[in-house]
Amino acid sequence: QEWLLSTSGLSTGEYLNGTGFGCVYPNGYGINYLPGEHIFKFGIESKRSSSETNTKAFRESLLKALRDMRKVCEEVNGKYSEHNKL
């Protein structure tokens, strides 16, 4: 079985400027995420040689999903977080 999405979470998201997490297959994506108190960082990796991947499009889809989740949380909580910068 091919796992086209490979992920890893790292701690101390507020202190690391950047990291990497490679994709397992040439036509897949590698993502790491670094949660902090008021920030959530992501690193997205794919192979330029693959005609099946598009890191920019993946990033835009991830941002849309995060914004959608924020909207749901705001509706449930009835408030806006001042720390949110999406």
So where are the chain's domains?
A: 5-77
3-class SS string, 9-62:
ECCCCCCCCCCCCCCCCCCCEEEEEEECCCCEEEEEEECCCCCCCCHHHHHHHH
pLDDT in tens, 21-59: 788 899 999 998 888 777 788 889 999 999 999 999 999
Task: Note the pTM of the prediction, 2 decimals.
Answer: 0.75
